Structure 1
Amino acid sequence: MTLHVFMIVILPSLCSAAISCYGDHGQPVDWFIVYKLPRLDHTSEGGMKYMYQDHTSEGWVRGAALMNSTESAVGRTLSQLYQSSQSKNVAYVLYNDQPPANMSNAIRGHTKGVVLLDKQQGFWLIHSTPRFPPSSSQKYDWPSSALRNGQSFICVTYPYSQFKEIGTQLMYNTITPYDSSIPDTFSGDLPDLNSAAMKKQVTKPPWNRQVTLTSAGGKPFTSFAKHARFGDDLYSGWVSEVLKSDLCVQFWLNSRGILPSNCSLTYHTYDIQTISFGSAINFSSHVDHSKWCVTWSDSAGWACIGDMNRNNEEMQRGGGTLCSSDPIIWKSFKTLVSKYNTCE
């Protein structure tokens, strides 16, 4: 009797994979941070270079590609959106107070980001870039308007259960969604994410919300989200008090009504003036549109990446920041501060 053995071969390219942040070398990662550098030269690559870190890099390393490439961490991550946006098995929200094809929205929150998930997990990408990314019906690209200035990104992979909390944070942020899809199979579990995608917002106090979000890999991040009616600066009026530390804050110094460094409260808030990635890369905050802060202490503290400036207008707008107490992340941001404004 002849025994026939049948082998089933599963090709990796055909296997479905859970949605995730993707690192610079094509691997799924629990989180990454990208710092898009300003245009420091006039070469063809000027304005598209970036610094990168994740849990394996031990701090900043040079980006493996360019920001307009699908080989970059941001490009690899967002490629999942363009490949799966027609699927009923995924949900997504793209939001930006300066959307790619529309006029700016100065009434709603000063917020920018992307949420993409399936029923297992997904990512929340928070960034500072106007006119970015393209809608899901298009393809990944980098806007020419965002070449000149620095920009910041933080991507975290979260299990499905965390998107209920993320949806609530986006309600506080009062996001401006410009492309979204929340199929019925998601909206029942994630009512606030569905509401945020329809431009709804919180309607009663408290007007700010802090929550711990735990990544798919078990790493805690603290999310701060404020509504316009909070009526105060995100950093000096809230984050510094919660983190119990002085803060150095990087934000767009060219907007109207900039808030000066504040030493009137228990914890001081300082405006950063100059950024340095070592002797070879130095630039002014006036060409840096990124939004981040770091606790100004001798011992390991916190670093936060978000989407808010320090100015009079944004005291009356929604927005937020995402913070980590990882000592390597903290040190990587603290060493960037070359000069900051002391209080007058």
Structure 2
Amino acid sequence: MRVALLALLSIWLQTGSTELGCRDENGNLVDWYYLYKLPEKVAAGRSETAGLHYTFVTAGQPSAGWQLSARNVNESESIPGRTVGPVLSAKNLLAVLYNDEPPEGKTDGLRGHTKGVVATDWTSGFWLIHSVPKYPPELGQEYHYPNTGRMYGQSFLCVSFGADQMDAIGGQLVLNEPHVYSYHVPDELRERFPKLVEATRMKTDSKPPHWNVLKMRSRAGVTFNSFAKNRYFKKELYADLIAPSLQSNLLVESWQHGAGNLPSDCSKPKWTVLNIEGVTIGQQYRFETLQDHSKWAVSGDSERRFICVGDINRQEHQKVRGGGSVCSE
């Protein structure tokens, strides 16, 4: 009996030490984190590390505010490296890597303008939403960060979930129409997560509804709302879906290079959506929107406090692209 108990204890310890979820720089499991990769010219430092510095906020130390990491985003010991690296080498996880600009091959200008990593096993998982083209590397490769991602600012949101939340996230992915460039589905998980499996098939459903709002709870019980749309929604994500759903004005940071940029929208009867023109992080880092590739929004109302991190730019052509955003509550 004692031997059996010791064996069970050993199994529990081994399983607990490799629990799947978002990780901090010490490898500790955290419920969520926000990460801002700083633009190259803002936090240049030494030339070999320019464009690799990042600031972060984690659920473990939310009151600390934005902290500048001593790590670089291309290191396996960085926050995204600790989170994504183990997934790249694991053989027993269901993992879906998606990016409209994959590490290899052509940019997909038809499917969703969406980037991220979803990974799960029988008990736990996470969803990492980011804005970095050509990232992360395919499954089976070592973790690294692309040189093409250095110049501009980039946004990351990671949330840890129980496995019971993960297939609903798969349903949001199906709506977002991701370009899945690398995935692994173990046979024993295929029936448990049918929507995640469906997302890997990259089929578009033209039948309504063309959008969905999903209320999710993190492992620690924190509520997040996922907003998803496909190409047939044909309206603007922030002004036509997020603002009316949250009943709040929005301040939006998104890519403003190229054609079709949408101006701030004050035309709606209730909610305004204003484009951000510059970002300040703490007392040290300031940069203009044109130096930033991030996609995020915050409440424009002083009595409301939430942040959304996602996929879509405020540009005319993105009305007919899939994508979404995940907002804190």
* Same fold? TM cut 0.5: yes
Say which SS state the counterpart of residue 35 (structure 2) adopts. Answer: strand
TM-superposed deviation, 1:17: 2.1
Is 1:57 equivalent to 2:57 in the alignment?
no
Q: What CA distance in whole angstroms lies between the structure 2 residues aligned with 1:230 and 1:22?
A: 35
Please point out which of 285, 291, 312 is paired with 2:289.
Answer: 285
Contact 1:19–1:80 at 8 Å: present in 2 too?
no
Distance 1:185 1:313, change over 3 A: same
TM-superposed deviation, 1:105: 0.3
Is 1:82 equivalent to 2:88 in the alignment?
yes
- Report the counterpart of residue 340 of structure 1 in structure 2: none
Please point out which of 131, 140, 143 is paired with 1:140.
Answer: 143
Gaps in structure 1 of 5+ consecutive residues: 1-6, 326-344
Contact 2:89–2:141 at 8 Å: present in 1 too?
no
Contact 2:206–2:232 at 8 Å: present in 1 too?
no
Say which SS state the counterpart of residue 327 (structure 2) adopts. Answer: strand
Say which SS state the counterpart of residue 189 (structure 2) adopts. Answer: helix
- Report the counterpart of residue 308 of structure 1 in structure 2: 312
Q: Which sits farther off after the overlay, 264-273 or 63-72?
A: 63-72
Q: What CA distance in whole angstroms lies between the structure 1 residues aligned with 2:11 and 2:118?
A: 29
Contact 2:66–2:282 at 8 Å: present in 1 too?
no
Is 1:68 equivalent to 2:71 in the alignment?
no
Structural mapping, 1:163-182, within 5 Å: 163-182=166-185
TM-superposed deviation, 1:201: 3.0
RMSD over equivalenced CA pairs, Å: 1.9
- Report the counterpart of residue 34 of structure 2 in structure 1: 33
Q: Which sits farther off after the overlay, 137-146 or 14-23?
A: 14-23
- Report the counterpart of residue 3 of structure 2 in structure 1: none
Structural mapping, 1:85-124, within 5 Å: 87=91, 89-124=92-127
Q: Which sits farther off after the overlay, 149-158 or 186-195?
A: 186-195
The code of the aligned residue for 1:47 comes to G
Deviations 1:9-56 (A, max 9, x none): 959995552211101232110111100000122622211111100122
TM-superposed deviation, 1:194: 0.4
Q: What CA distance in whole angstroms lies between the structure 2 residues aligned with 1:82 and 1:90?
A: 10
Distance 1:25 1:201, change over 3 A: same
Contact 1:163–1:190 at 8 Å: present in 2 too?
yes
The code of the aligned residue for 1:281 comes to Y
Structural mapping, 1:267-278, within 5 Å: 267-278=271-282
Query: Quick one: percent identity of the two aligned structures?
Result: 36
When the two structures are superposed, what TM-score results if normalisation uses the length of structure 1? 0.88
TM-superposed deviation, 1:161: 1.0
Q: What CA distance in whole angstroms lies between the structure 2 residues aligned with 1:64 and 1:159?
A: 30
The code of the aligned residue for 2:298 comes to V
Number of equivalenced pairs:
317
Deviations 1:126-162 (A, max 9, x none): 0000000000121100100010000000001111111
Deviations 1:191-232 (A, max 9, x none): 111011111233311100001111111111000000110001
- Report the counterpart of residue 249 of structure 2 in structure 1: 246
The code of the aligned residue for 2:242 comes to V
Q: What CA distance in whole angstroms lies between the structure 1 residues aligned with 2:52 and 2:251?
A: 26
Gaps in structure 2 of 5+ consecutive residues: 1-5
Q: What CA distance in whole angstroms lies between the structure 1 residues aligned with 2:11 and 2:248?
A: 52
Contact 1:114–1:126 at 8 Å: present in 2 too?
yes
Contact 1:18–1:118 at 8 Å: present in 2 too?
no
Distance 1:202 1:190, change over 3 A: farther
Q: What CA distance in whole angstroms lies between the structure 2 residues aligned with 1:137 and 1:31?
A: 25
- Report the counterpart of residue 18 of structure 2 in structure 1: 17
Q: What CA distance in whole angstroms lies between the structure 2 residues aligned with 1:227 and 1:120?
A: 29
Q: What CA distance in whole angstroms lies between the structure 1 residues aligned with 2:178 and 2:88?
A: 21
Q: What CA distance in whole angstroms lies between the structure 1 residues aligned with 2:76 and 2:52?
A: 13
Q: What CA distance in whole angstroms lies between the structure 2 residues aligned with 1:192 and 1:13?
A: 31
TM-superposed deviation, 1:278: 3.2
When the two structures are superposed, what TM-score results if normalisation uses the length of structure 2? 0.92
Structural mapping, 1:227-238, within 5 Å: 227-238=230-241
Query: Displaced runs of 4+ in structure 1, greater than 4 A?
Result: 7-16
Q: Which sits farther off after the overlay, 92-101 or 42-51?
A: 42-51
